[in-house]
Structure 1
Amino acid sequence: MTTYILLINWTEQGVRNVRDSPKRLDAARKALGEMGGNFKEFYLTMGDHDMVAVCEAPDDAVLARFALTLGQGGNVRTRTLKAFPEAAYREIIHSLG
């Protein structure tokens, strides 16, 4: 499975309905699970992003579909980073020669 980091910000609608956010997180976990992925970690954050999630998915298309599904709800906007574990990082750097 591939690891992805989602940088998440509430929209105005999402902030207005912030008390429903835990229910939306539960629904998002379920949706990603049904797509074959999972949440590894989730954080409420301070700074440029309201929340950060570390997720796994079988491939880029699954994660793209998940992020689009989240966006359709109108409560959050996401930015997705594909994450390479340390072993892959070392292999990539070593391949530079």
Structure 2
Amino acid sequence: MTKYLFEANYVGDGIKGLLREGGTKRRDAVVDALKSVDGSLECFYYAFGETDVVGVFEIPDAASAAALSLMINATGAVRLHLKPLMTVEDLDEAAKKSPTYRAPGQ
């Protein structure tokens, strides 16, 4: 399972729905959505400023994460951004690799 940091913003009718339903019901909707792709919610927090919601969930694969993101963003009520999270061991493995790359114009 891969962990993802998610950041979301309510827009338009999504804000109205949040005000009508409250935060707990919206969190429950996220839990249900994650269950539909065999994922689980680790944490969920409301914030204010640039981002309305932040949290972490686990999901089995990138295709499931992409499907969930597409479905949520397609509603037009929420803008969801996902960031895959890596363990320190994952970073250690990455540091051992030696990829090659040519920068533009070089």
d(CA) in 1 for partners of 2:16 and 2:46? 17
Distance 1:22 1:95 in 2: 43
1:5 aligns with 2:5: yes
Percent sequence identity is 29
What is the CA RMSD across the aligned residues, in angstroms? 1.9
Give how far 1:79 is off.
0.9
Aligned residue-pair number: 97
Give the aligned residue type for 1:80: L
- For 2:37, the equivalent position in structure 1 comes to 35
SS of residue in 1 equivalent to 2:49: coil
> Which residue, 39, 54, 57 being the options, matches 1:55?
57
1:89 positional shift: 1.4
1:94 Cα deviation (Å)? 3.7
Contact 1:28 1:70 in 2 (8 A): no
TM score, norm. by length of structure 2 = 0.79
- CA distance, structure 2, for counterparts of residue 89 and residue 34 of structure 1: 30
Mean alpha-carbon deviation: is it higher for 46-55 or for 15-24? 15-24
Structure with greater Cα Rg: 2
Task: Give secondary structure in 1 for the equivalent of 2:5.
Answer: strand
Matches of 1:34 and 1:18 in 2, distance apart?
21
Q: Which runs of 5+ in 1 are unaligned?
A: none
State the TM-score, normalizing by the size of structure 1. 0.85
Unaligned runs of 5+ in 2: 99-106
Deviation at 1:13, TM superposition (A): 1.2
